[in-house]
Chain A
Amino acid sequence: MQKNKDKHNLGGYAPFGLDMGGMPTIEMLGNRRITLEGSTGILLYESDNIKINTNKMVVSFCGRGLCVRCISCSCVEIEGFVTQIEFLC
């Protein structure tokens, strides 16, 4: 039981209590749908590659039939068959 607790404990910090410093939050539903929070703009929008700029890095999504399902000033929802995610710092 104690071991299980230690598994989720990242060096004594709670995972949601970390200071992420404006890092983007990525939520994935398998490899079919991705919600990215903390976007500052879309850099590239193609059906096989979408690059999204955030405060600290550029996140690149590669795949097939990719499209932006919904977009707001800080949140982007991508749908499609995602094969690769790259973080370009």
Chain B
Amino acid sequence: MLVQLIRFFRGYVDFTASGKFPERFLNITSRYGINLWNAKPSKHSINASMYISDYRKIRLAAKKSGVKTRINAKHGLPFFVNKYKPRIGIPIGAAAGIILIIVLSNFIWSVSVTGAQTVSETKIKQVLSENGVKTGGYKNNLDVQKIERDTMLEIDEIGWMSVNLTGNIASIEIKEKAQKPKIDSSATPCNVKAKCDGVITDIKVKKGNVQVKKGSGVAKGDLLVSGIIETKMNTLQYVRANAEVFADVVYKKDSSIKSEYEYTFLSSEKTERNRVFLLWLEFPCSMSFSSYEKSVFSETSQNVICNDVVLPLGLKTSTQSDLKSVEKKLAKSDAEKIFINDLLLYEAFEKPKSKVVSRKININKTGDEFHCETDYIFNENIAYSEDFSVTD
């Protein structure tokens, strides 16, 4: 196998040496130190093989032995290269391809994170990127153990992680820590007080001495549940009072919008510019020089996926959209819709744990503005804990 490989790389010819004394030809070539193999005799001739470099030297041996040599077949790389010499682009392309593969195999092509449930994948990738594990990062000088250690120190929620570099793919496996439940271990006694004015509707006491009743009105800072309990032995015991006290609380919300305003919207005119990207390299595919007075940019990226692996090869499209503005007058019905939407957002995001008991909306127009006054009654937990000193 090895001999055949050497023969292939050096190049060899099958030839026929015909004449009166082909044996003499064999003797002379062997005396010159020329390697010859597969010598098969036939009538007044010999068929044999020899290296192309040796074949150029046998002219004298052929002359001395009185034989004529004729090449039957040519084998090996030198003949192959010679055949494609006029097409120089093919070997150059092949060499460039091999170099490209060697160079690109030194970089990370794809980073995948598995096992992240509560921790954001983006955050993990960001920390890994700071440590060198990123698409297009040089992978040969990565200290995997140090990266794992640093990432676990940076993100506290990770209990175990493994960075696996398989070829050009970095696959990160993560196990999250089981979070400890928050336990109030404070030994300081406390009272439960009201954080705002309201009428009590429900009391759920876990610990402490209740000071109020259902239906009673309380002001901000009033004591709701005391942390001082009288025992059966007529002694005082100081505890951490714990309770949920629900009350109807009145809120007022004012908002206003202008009746005449500038409405800005995206027009149908837009310009798209495409770029093909590979790792950190980007090549523009389309050019456009149109510009708009007011515009917004958006960018989308589509990667090539091969065998569930996201490759760092794809198309980036940046879109510049024209913005147009028009003066608009607002009708009262439209203003009402806007105010209602605004109030729904307020209830959903600012009072997520409160229940709406009543809502009264009053919309007025004064000058060039619409005013909205809303009277709310929310049913919510008004209890908060306040520590107290035993010595006081």
Residues of A whose CB lies within 8 Å of any CB of B are 41-47, 66-73
- Please, could you name 25 A-B residue pairs with CB atoms under 8 Å apart, sorted by A? A41-B24, A42-B27, A44-B23, A45-B22, A45-B26, A45-B41, A47-B40, A67-B38, A67-B40, A67-B41, A68-B26, A68-B39, A69-B38, A70-B36, A70-B37, A71-B29, A71-B30, A71-B36, A71-B39, A72-B30, A72-B33, A72-B35, A73-B30, A73-B31, A73-B33
Question: Once the chains are docked, how many angstroms separate the CA of A3 from the CA of B40?
Answer: 47
Specify which chain A residues have a CB less than 8 angstroms from the CB of B24 in the assembled complex.
41
Specify which chain A residues have a CB less than 8 angstroms from the CB of B38 in the assembled complex.
67, 69
B46 at the interface (CB under 8 A from A): yes
Q: A45-B22, A72-B33 are in contact. List 12 more A-B contacts (CB 8 A).
A: A42-B26, A45-B23, A45-B39, A47-B42, A67-B39, A67-B41, A70-B36, A71-B26, A71-B30, A71-B39, A73-B30, A73-B31
- B22 to chain A minimum Cβ distance, whole angstroms, is 6
Specify which chain A residues have a CB less than 8 angstroms from the CB of B31 in the assembled complex.
73
Name the residue of chain A whose CB is nearest to the CB of B22: A45
Chain B residue total in the interface (Cβ 8 A)? 18
Question: Once the chains are docked, how many angstroms separate the CA of A47 from the CA of B42?
Answer: 7
Specify which chain B residues have a CB less than 8 angstroms from the CB of A45 in the assembled complex.
22-23, 26, 39, 41, 46
- A52 to chain B minimum Cβ distance, whole angstroms, is 10
Question: Once the chains are docked, how many angstroms separate the CA of A72 from the CA of B22?
Answer: 16
Residue among B22, B23, B39, B46 facing the most chain A CB atoms (10 A cut-off): B23
Question: Once the chains are docked, how many angstroms separate the CA of A45 from the CA of B286?
Answer: 75
- B277 to chain A minimum Cβ distance, whole angstroms, is 59
- B49 to chain A minimum Cβ distance, whole angstroms, is 11
Question: Once the chains are docked, how many angstroms separate the CA of A28 from the CA of B24?
Answer: 25
Whether the Cβ atoms of B23 and A43 lie closer than 8 Å is: yes
Contact partner of B27 (CB less than 8 A), chosen from A41, A66, A67, A69, is A41
Question: Once the chains are docked, how many angstroms separate the CA of A47 from the CA of B47?
Answer: 12
Name the residue of chain A whose CB is nearest to the CB of B33: A73
Specify which chain B residues have a CB less than 8 angstroms from the CB of A69 in the assembled complex.
37-39
Name the residue of chain A whose CB is nearest to the CB of B48: A68
Specify which chain B residues have a CB less than 8 angstroms from the CB of A67 in the assembled complex.
38-41
Specify which chain B residues have a CB less than 8 angstroms from the CB of A66 in the assembled complex.
41
Question: Once the chains are docked, how many angstroms separate the CA of A45 from the CA of B33?
Answer: 19
Name the residue of chain A whose CB is nearest to the CB of B31: A73
Question: Once the chains are docked, how many angstroms separate the CA of A46 from the CA of B26?
Answer: 13
Specify which chain A residues have a CB less than 8 angstroms from the CB of B33 in the assembled complex.
72-73
- B299 to chain A minimum Cβ distance, whole angstroms, is 70
Question: Once the chains are docked, how many angstroms separate the CA of A71 from the CA of B28?
Answer: 11
Specify which chain A residues have a CB less than 8 angstroms from the CB of B35 in the assembled complex.
72
- B29 to chain A minimum Cβ distance, whole angstroms, is 8
- B354 to chain A minimum Cβ distance, whole angstroms, is 99
Whether the Cβ atoms of A47 and B41 lie closer than 8 Å is: yes
- B12 to chain A minimum Cβ distance, whole angstroms, is 14
- For window 1-57 of B, CB contacts with A under 8 Å fall at 22-24, 26-27, 29-31, 33, 35-42, 46
Specify which chain A residues have a CB less than 8 angstroms from the CB of B23 in the assembled complex.
41-45
Question: Which are the 6 A-B pairs with shortest beta-carbon distances?
Answer: A41-B27, A42-B23, A68-B39, A45-B23, A71-B30, A45-B41
Name the residue of chain A whose CB is nearest to the CB of B42: A47
Specify which chain A residues have a CB less than 8 angstroms from the CB of B46 in the assembled complex.
45
Question: Once the chains are docked, how many angstroms separate the CA of A76 from the CA of B27?
Answer: 10
Name the residue of chain A whose CB is nearest to the CB of B43: A46
Specify which chain A residues have a CB less than 8 angstroms from the CB of B22 in the assembled complex.
45
Name the residue of chain B whose CB is nearest to the CB of A51: B23
Specify which chain B residues have a CB less than 8 angstroms from the CB of A47 in the assembled complex.
40-42
Residue among A42, A66, A72 facing the most chain B CB atoms (10 A cut-off): A42
Question: Once the chains are docked, how many angstroms separate the CA of A47 from the CA of B27?
Answer: 17
- B376 to chain A minimum Cβ distance, whole angstroms, is 105
